[in-house]
């Protein structure tokens, strides 16, 4: 039986239709407060807000672990569906929302990884092609460690403001020199350098703030 | 060069973004300077962590897709 997210949302809406609904803005609410709202009539707003905040991180981790865009996209869809359905299992006294969502992501990624490992695609020339997921079969702990670090780094990049994130992305992922960034952006070279330095310091602070113990991700 | 002149360039040095002459100045300062070396190591740790992150790519799925009907069973 096919189940659509919109159907589930509609069903939830119908179940709650007898209650008086007050519209409330979700802007500025913490992740934990939004999770509380997943159990209330403003579920779509809360879900959208959490999606805006975390979908790129889930996608990035998916790309790292699962190795292709379409499976990473499937991961994003499945994670947010599971997040909504399992929202009552979230306990803010036990972990941050980010750590909890990482656990959800890891669990869904492992399921997709297993499915993919057995998937064989026929290709036009008649040969068989095994989907190119990374091979963690000999060291599953490596997948856990890498995905957790990937999660933390992605979150750290997400919380940088746009100008600092842009400098890091151009310098690190784009491979541009500071002078090239200056020319391309029109920013003075000194500003590019100071932003790079400041962005690194912020990343360092964010990575240190996250709970890095393995206990947190069990 | 003095530490105060090196520090603004350290992060750019770590990402390999300095001109060759500037990079050479930072390199020659780092070896004997413990305080700048410590700063360099901390920045280098961030650089190493970035290696596990995928390059930024647009997310193919918009959030509207999340709220749209799924076509496959779950």
Domain A28-139 fold:
Rna Polymerase Sigma Factor; Chain: A (1.10.1740)
What is the CATH number that goes with domain A160-218?
A: 1.10.10.10
User: How many CB contacts within 8 angstroms connect chain A with chain B?
Assistant: 127
Contact A194 B8 (CB under 8 A): yes
Supply the pTM of this predicted model: 0.68
Structure tokens at A118: 């057995």
Structure tokens at A141: 């702990």
List, for residues A109-165, the tens digit of each pLDDT value.
888 888 876 664 544 444 444 445 566 666 667 777 778 888 998 889 988 999 999
CA dist list (Å): A215 to A83, A135, A155: 21, 25, 19
List, for residues A15-35, the tens digit of each pLDDT value.
333 332 333 334 578 998 889
**Rounded to an integer, what distance in angstroms lies between the CA atom of residue B37 and that of residue A43?**
50
Residue of A nearest to B69 (CA): A4
The predicted structure's pLDDT at residue A1: 37
ipTM score of complex: 0.79
For chain B, the structural domain boundaries read 3-50
List the alpha helices (DSSP H) in A24-139. Answer: 31-37, 43-66, 69-85, 97-117
For residues B46 and A207, the answer to whether their CB atoms sit within 8 Å is yes
For chain A, the structural domain boundaries read 28-139, 160-218
Among B26, B40, B66, pick the best mutation site for testing chain A contact (most A Cβ within 10 A).
B66
List, for residues B10-52, the tens digit of each pLDDT value.
999 999 999 999 999 999 999 899 999 999 999 999 998 888 7
Nearest to A112 by CA among A146, A87, A136, A142: A136
* Mean of all residue pLDDT scores within chain A: 77
Across the interface, of A52, A76, A169, the residue whose CB is closest to B56 is A169
Degrees, nearest 5: CA angle A105-A72-A77: 65
The predicted structure's pLDDT at residue A129: 41
Say yes or no: B60 contacts chain A, CB-CB below 8 A. Answer: yes
Across the interface, of A2, A48, A201, the residue whose CB is closest to B70 is A2
């Amino acid at each position: 039986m096919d189940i659509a997210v919109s159907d589930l949302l509609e069903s939830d809406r119908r179940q709650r239709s007898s209650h008086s609904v007050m519209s409330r803005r979700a802007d500025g609410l913490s992740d934990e407060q939004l999770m509380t709202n997943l159990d209330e009539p403003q579920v779509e707003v809360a879900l959208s807000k959490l999606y805006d905040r975390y979908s790129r991180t889930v996608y990035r981790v998916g790309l790292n672990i699962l190795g292709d865009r379409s499976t990473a996209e499937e991961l994003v869809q499945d994670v947010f569906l599971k997040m909504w359905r399992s929202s009552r299992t979230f306990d803010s006294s036990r972990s941050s929302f980010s750590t909890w969502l990482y656990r959800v992501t890891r669990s869904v990624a492992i399921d997709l990884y297993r499915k993919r490992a057995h998937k064989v695609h026929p290709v036009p020339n008649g040969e068989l092609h095994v989907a190119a997921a990374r091979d963690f079969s000999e060291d599953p702990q490596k997948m856990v460690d890498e995905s957790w670090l990937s999660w933390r780094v992605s979150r750290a990049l997400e919380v940088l403001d746009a100008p600092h994130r842009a400098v890091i992305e151009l310098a690190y992922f784009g491979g541009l020199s500071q002078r090239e960034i200056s020319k391309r952006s029109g920013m003075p070279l000194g500003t590019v350098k100071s932003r790079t330095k400041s962005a690194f310091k912020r990343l360092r602070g964010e990575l240190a703030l996250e709970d890095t113990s393995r206990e947190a991700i069990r | 060069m003095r530490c105060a002149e090196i520090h603004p360039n350290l992060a750019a040095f770590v990402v390999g973004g300095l001109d060759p002459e500037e990079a050479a100045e930072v390199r020659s300062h780092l070896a004997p300077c413990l305080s700048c070396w410590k700063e360099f190591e901390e920045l280098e740790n961030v650089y190493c962590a970035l290696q596990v992150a995928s390059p930024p790519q647009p997310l193919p799925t918009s959030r509207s897709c999340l709220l749209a009907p799924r076509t496959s069973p779950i």
